[in-house]
Every structure is written in structure tokens, then in C-alpha cells.
Amino acid sequence: MDHFQYRDGKLHAEGVALDALAQAVGTPFYCYSTATLERHYKVFEEAIAGLNAGICYAIKANSNIAVLATLGRLGAGADVVSGGEMERALAAGIAADKIVFSGVGKTGDELHRALAAGVTHINVESFPELDILSAAAEATGRTANVAIRINPDVDAKTHEKISTGRQEDKFGIDLALARDAYARAAELPGLNVCGVAMHIGSQLTDLTPYREAYSRMAEFVGVLRADGFDITHLDMGGGLGITYGDEVAPTPEAYGTMVAETVGNLGCRLTFEPGRMISGNAGILVTRVIFVKEGLAKRFCIVDGAMNDLIRPTLYSAHHEIVPVSEPENDVELLEMDVVGPICESGDFIAKDRALPPLGSGDLLAVRTAGAYGAVMASTYNTRPLAPEVLVDGEDYAVIRRRFTVQDMLDLETLPPWLDSGTGAR
């Protein structure tokens, strides 16, 4: 469920008409619904209510500090995978002791800053990282609470580019090597080895891979405890899928039941890292039709949003529902068309062979389920300014990231002295 609905013939974000919003902020723009963010967080929270557990929202899904602050007020912590994401979480008011630092390539500087800030856990993903983390702990005079991320070699049966739990994926330490990693961690100063972490992929629509992976985690906890480790914390990762088109996604309730059945008897504090499940359906991308181009083989609806704004369709072959902002008549004849942007790439499309009502210059379209991995993956390719982000709360809205300008981009660049004479000559 989301809060983008038609009222009086116009698509609204909660109580705000999107055509009026487009007039105010221009297109393209991202729009997020506070009510949807809150509802999805609470649904997940209720699903794990019977467990000793906490929620650390995966910032990589949508890192706008207003979104983070909205979730933080509900009690969410943060799962971060870079020093920049940690700074975003702190700027949004999320306490450091509710931040988990994950990621396969943390630098010494990032780990130093994380320990100095007081993050609750570091999820270590390699043998070299153990040494770097130990050195950072000694340098800061802090003890790092460590969970080692194991790679259970479980295929999540999701898209190749978002699967993270197979041996051929770069993430975590192979389960067969993980026991040695814990032994190594126990020898290093400044490390409190207290947890096991796992994350097998994103957009999972089947609980079977989860069940297999979590069962292996439970068995491994038994092995570690037999080796003398006091394992008190399990990081369950995220990745629960949502509906973009005709998928049937598992409910949070079914997921919570499965977790209880696999690891609920271990007496551990559990951390969950939902991202897409919280923010995906809470956002849309609003774009305006430039014109419709009729070809011999195709009809192209060319819009002002492009792959630099939403790369998921071309990167993952992802499906996003597209609806007109002005509600079409029930009996309108639909036309098949590709919805494409102005970028000079054949891969610049939002949808292919999509049945839509007749469209003309100036019409507005809403690209649904764009609240996760949308704005965070945007670029300035073709020197296109980043689209603004807007947060709606009831009948109120605020621009939470302004639109970049071309001048903003030019201001980031400088000419070297030998080109700064105005002539371009050395």
C-alpha cells in the first residue's frame, strides 16, 4: 500500500496534487510520502515484535537526511556502507550507538571515524579488514564490537547484480573459512568478537533462500560457541522484496515467523536492515512529456526524466509502473510505446513496449516504486542537473534536496594554470 492516489482526476501524494507540485518545483523530481514511509516501517516493526530485535534502515536505498530523520523519529537505527552514509545518519539525528557499519571495502580512515563516533557494531568482511580495524581501535582507544559477515554460498535467486551470498560474490568471508577468521579476530587487540552477520541479496521474493542461509547461520553459531566465543548478536541483513509489477512478495509477517523458526532460539539480539521494503513504494519520479515521436517500428514517448535520474530500468532491466498524473478515462484506447529520456544512449529508457493512454507535450507521468535506488543512484551524465527531492506530509510539502544547476556543476571544476589564460595555449 502507498499514499499516491487519484483524487478528482489528479494523482496526489497524500494531500498534495502532483500537477501543482510539478508547477512549483519543475520536472523531473522525486516525491516521497511520509505516511508510506511510516506505515512500512511500522508493518516491519510489528512483524518482528516477538523477537529481541532492532531495525537499522539500509541507508543505501534512500539516503536523503529528511527520509532518515523521518525513520529515526520512529526508532530506526542505520545500516551504513561508507563513511559518507555514516555522516548522513548522524546529520539526520540517528545516534551513533544505533549505527551498524557494513561494507566490503572500508578504509582505515572510515573505521577510525566510525570508532571515534561510537558506532554500535562493525560488520567485518575480510581477513585484512580485521587487521585494519584492530589498528584503528588501538589508535582511537576504543574497543570495536565485531560481527564477521559470513558468506553462506546461498543463491538468493534474484538479479545477478544484487546477489551477494554466493561464493563468487565479493561479500563476506566464505563459511568454510569463517572459523579461522574468528580465531584470528580473537588474537587481535581492540576487538570484541560478539556477533555473526549475513546478507544474501536484495529484492528476494522467496523465503526459501533466507531459510537456508539463516539455518546455516544458526549451525555456525553453535560451532563458534563450542569454540568458546560468546555470540550475543546476529545481523540478519535485509533484502526483503517488494512489488514492482506482478511479483508476489512475501509478507513481513511471514518473514518474521521464518526468522523465529531458524534463529529465534539462540538467545541473540537480532538486527534487521530493511531498505527497499521501507522506502521503495514510498517514492515516485514525476516526469513531463517533451513530445511523442512516431517511428516506423516504434512509438517513443520522450520525457524529461532519464537514465541519469533513474538508472534501474537500464541497469537491472527493472520494471516500474508508469501512470499519468491526470487520470485517464476508463475506456481510453491504450497505445504501445517506449518511454525514453533525452540522453544520448540507446540504454536511456524508463520502460519499453508499455501500454499507455495517448500522450502529448506537457503531460505529466508518475514512475512508481522509485523511492529506493532512485535518487541515490542518480548522476549528472550529459551534464544534466540532479533532480530535486520533495517530501510530503499530509497537505504539506518541502523540497528536501534542491535541483542542481549547470552552474553548480561547473563550479566544481577548475582550469589548470596553463589553460586559464583565455586562449587555451600553453
Residue 159 clears pLDDT 50, i.e. is over it: no
Residue 135 clears pLDDT 80, i.e. is over it: yes
Compare 172 and 46 and report the one with higher pLDDT: 46
- Which band of pLDDT confidence, cut at 50, 70 and 90, is reported for residue 420? confident
Question: Exposed, middle or buried by CB within 10 Å (0-12, 13-18, 19+), for 380?
Answer: middle
Residue 158 clears pLDDT 90, i.e. is over it: no
How do residues 193-217 score in pLDDT, each as one tens digit? 999 999 988 888 899 999 999 999 9
The residue with cell 537526511 is: 65
d(CA 247, CA 311): 20
pLDDT at 155: 56
Return the CATH class of domain 103-272. alpha beta
pLDDT at 247: 82
The residue with cell 584470528 is: 184
Residue 333 clears pLDDT 80, i.e. is over it: yes
Beta pairing class for 99-101 and 77-80: parallel
pLDDT at 157: 53
Return the half-sphere exposure (C-beta side, CA atoms, 13 A cut-off) of residue 219: 10
Q: Which residues pair with 291 in a beta bridge?
A: 302
Residue 413 clears pLDDT 70, i.e. is over it: yes
Q: Which CATH number fits domain 4-31+280-410: 2.40.37.10, 1.10.240.10, 2.120.10.30, 1.10.540.10?
A: 2.40.37.10
Question: Per DSSP, which regions of 108-169 are E strands?
Answer: 121-124, 144-151
pLDDT at 167: 54
**Residue 73 dihedral angles phi and psi, to the nearest 5°:** -65, -25
Question: Per DSSP, which regions of 95-180 are E strands?
Answer: 99-101, 121-124, 144-151, 173-174
Rounded to an integer, the average pLDDT of 257-280 is: 97
Separation of first and last alpha carbons in the chain: 62
Residue 223 clears pLDDT 50, i.e. is over it: yes
Rounded to an integer, the average pLDDT of 223-251 is: 93
How do residues 46-74 score in pLDDT, each as one tens digit? 999 999 999 999 999 999 999 999 999 99
Quickly list DSSP for 24-69.
HH-SSEEEEEHHHHHHHHHHHHHHTTTSSEEEEEEGGG---HHHHH
Name the 3-class secondary structure at 275.
coil
- Would you kindly state where each structural domain of the chain is located, as residue ranges? 4-31+280-410, 103-272
Confirm whether 194 is a catalytic residue: no
Of the listed ranges 42-51, 144-153, 381-390, the one predicted with least confidence: 144-153
Which whole-number Å values give the CA distances from 34 to 61, 141, 253, 403, in the listed order? 16, 40, 22, 20
Residue 165 clears pLDDT 90, i.e. is over it: no
pLDDT at 1: 73
Residue 170 clears pLDDT 60, i.e. is over it: yes
pLDDT at 389: 98
User: What residues contact 257, with CB distance under 8 A and at least 6 apart?
Assistant: none
- Helix, strand, coil share of the chain (percent; to 5): 35, 25, 40
| Given the residues 31, 268, 301, 344, the one annotated as active site | 344
Residue 246 clears pLDDT 70, i.e. is over it: yes
**Closest C-alpha to 246, from 324, 319, 315:** 319
Residue 127 clears pLDDT 90, i.e. is over it: yes
How do residues 9-25 score in pLDDT, each as one tens digit? 999 999 999 999 999 99
How do residues 293-332 score in pLDDT, each as one tens digit? 999 999 999 999 999 999 999 999 999 999 999 999 988 9
Residue 232 clears pLDDT 60, i.e. is over it: yes
